[in-house]
Structure 1
């Protein structure tokens, strides 16, 4: 499972960060899923190997512009590039209304099929090799988090049981391991499910939209290898800003991830006030966010950067690519 960050700033872009967009790919294969599509996401894609024509689904967390203003442009470019394959769009109802208004007012043409699925707590979708589910977050508009879980896990064959039942190694072993039932020459039927089991646990990543209550993610994060969550502020800035924007600080997210035993945490959606390097007295630095989170979290911690790509390995490690 690969995670590529296409935008990591909140509200507005900076010189080094575009607004929110994150790509998720299976370990093998070209189809992929996009979570959020801030302004200029299609321009960011030009600097990656991700093809919009291989995009299987777009999952929008909420209707605020830094998460969806890039959607019409990306869909229009897919049309111009000759896309024929269907595309699944998931998000709040407001996203579909927004898209329809843009289509009407700009004479935008889309000939390929778009299936819009309104997100709710019962979402259960398969796309690009992932099972996708969702849960509601706490923000000043309807907002969601998405859980992506691997669907296709290689099967491990129970060789000893087959031998005990008099089935010698041969082509039948391969068929069973591929998930196919078969009939033996003696008339016996063998069900693959009776002689195989998953070779490992599926990898799970949870990618959240804007949210001031990380505990809302408790159920969705069960067995998750990775949580990607906003850390718009440090705690002191959040106190100054007040609760109205309904964002999280680094300490909140880190405490939650630690309490749930999530082994890998990537923070993103940083306020533009946090700079890579202070230019004058009083400037806030992005390193402050990591320092605050580290105080409360003992797992592998990273701050997202535009174009950074990470692999969740089969044993649950977070590795840079």
Structure 2
């Protein structure tokens, strides 16, 4: 899997940072791509990236501020114009359905694909064969959520040599045993797949925060996460200003990662007041608290 940051700015776009959108490429686990927020200009950023619009099957909106949703109507209509027919699911706070329906209606737009809009509350959103996704409420002027994505553990490797030694021949039976099934053979022998599997591979956990000032939910949302993505809108000296607008400073983002026991922190959502050359200074503020911090720029890719 990998995270591709399509926009890493806060509030308004700048020459160096577009507003928020993050793509989670699910390669190696399942087909498709998930998008987290869709600020203005996101589809332009997509065209400059490896993301394929037709591969996006879920969009998670953290909240309804414009820098997180104003690119959504354009992306949906372009998807139709490109003849994409696969279902798309959009998750977001109450009001996201009205926003989509109103913008499409007033602009005379229509969709050629099934669109499922799910207005969320805190709690589990879904739990399929690959992932469990849970929404956590954050602290912001509008209802805002962070998303915890937990990959299920993968079964251990099948001990084929031991199966052969026990007189079990390779073939379709091996696939069933690899999935952990219990199989009754023609001679009546019962073979339990779990007896021939190595230790499972632990799945990855990602915590993707929306906009927030320091919040008690952070420790649960990002508890022991392999990857934590958190806003760092302003530097430590402007912490009071950041908090007054429902945002966090560099130091507060790093502190949240440390308290949650996260393994790796990626900071994003930087104010347009900062230029690229300011990045190292802001990153140093984070690393003084949480050394394993990286900063996202537009088109940064983090593989894991």
TM-score computed with the length of structure 2 as normaliser: 0.91
The match for 2:223 is 222
- Name the CA distance, whole Å, in 2 between partners of 1:61 and 1:107: 26
* In 2, Cα distance between equivalents of 1:33 and 1:259: 27
Aligned partner of 1:96 in structure 2 is: 97
Task: Indicate yes or no: 2:293 matched with 1:293.
Answer: no
Corresponding position of 1:107: 108
Query: 2:57 is matched with which residue?
Result: 56
Secondary structure at the counterpart of residue 256 of structure 1:
helix
Task: Tell me the CA shift for residue 226 of structure 1.
Answer: 0.5
2:36 counterpart residue number: 35
Q: 1: CA distance between counterparts of 2:260 and 2:160? A: 37
Other-structure match for 1:26: 26
Q: Are 1:26 and 1:128, in contact at CA under 8 Å, matched by a contact in 2?
A: no
Alpha-carbon offset, residue 197 of structure 1: 5.8
For 1:82 and 1:195, locate their aligned partners in 2 and report how far apart those are by CA, in whole Å: 47
Q: Distance in 2 between matches of 1:154 and 1:25?
A: 22
What residue in structure 2 maps to residue 280 of structure 1? none
In 2, the alpha carbon distance for the partners of 1:218 and 1:178 equals: 34
* Shift in Å, 1:22: 0.1
Contact 2:254-2:287 at 8 Å conserved across structures: yes
- 2:285 & 2:193 partners in 1: Cα distance? 50
Question: 2: CA distance between counterparts of 1:51 and 1:127?
Answer: 23
Q: Residues 96-144 of structure 1, C-alpha deviation per residue, up to 9 Å, x if partnerless? A: 1111110121111013111111222223325895332211111111000
- Please state how far the C-alpha of 1:149 moved relative to its aligned partner: 2.3
Q: 2:229–2:267: 8 Å Cα contact kept in structure 1?
A: yes
The residue aligned with 1:259 is 259
Supply the distance in 1 between the matched residues of 2:109 and 2:177 (Cα, whole angstroms). 50
| Paired residues of 1:153 and 1:198 also in contact (CA < 8 A) | no
- Do the aligned partners of residues 128 and 91 (structure 1) sit closer, same or farther apart at CA in structure 2, a change above 3 Å counting? farther
Q: CA RMSD in A?
A: 2.4
Task: Give the equivalent residue in structure 1 for 2:188.
Answer: 187
Any stretches of 5+ residues in structure 2 without a counterpart? Answer: none
The 5 A counterparts of 1:171-210 are 171=171, 172-193=173-194, 195-196=196-197, 199-210=200-211
Q: Aligned pairs, how many?
A: 302
Change (3 A) 1:58 1:178: same
Deviation, 1:235, is 1.7
SS in 2 for 1:75: helix
Aligned to 1:236: 237
Distance 1:229 1:302 in 2: 11
Question: How far apart in 2 are the matches of 1:200 and 1:34?
Answer: 26
Paired position in structure 1 for 2:303:
311
Alignment partner, residue 317 of structure 1: none
Contact residue 95 and residue 119 of structure 2 kept, 8 A = no
Offset of residue 181 of structure 1: 4.0
Flag the 1:159–1:264 CA change in 2: closer, same or farther, 3 A.
Answer: same
**Mapped contact 2:152–2:202 kept (Cα < 8 A):** no
Deviations along 1:275-312, one digit per CA (max 9) or x if unpaired, are 123xxxxxxx23222111111113x2111000011101
Contact 2:224 2:260 in 1 (8 A): no
Q: CA deviation at 1:194?
A: 5.4
Q: 1:43 to 1:127 in 2, by over 3 A?
A: farther
Equivalence for 1:247: 247
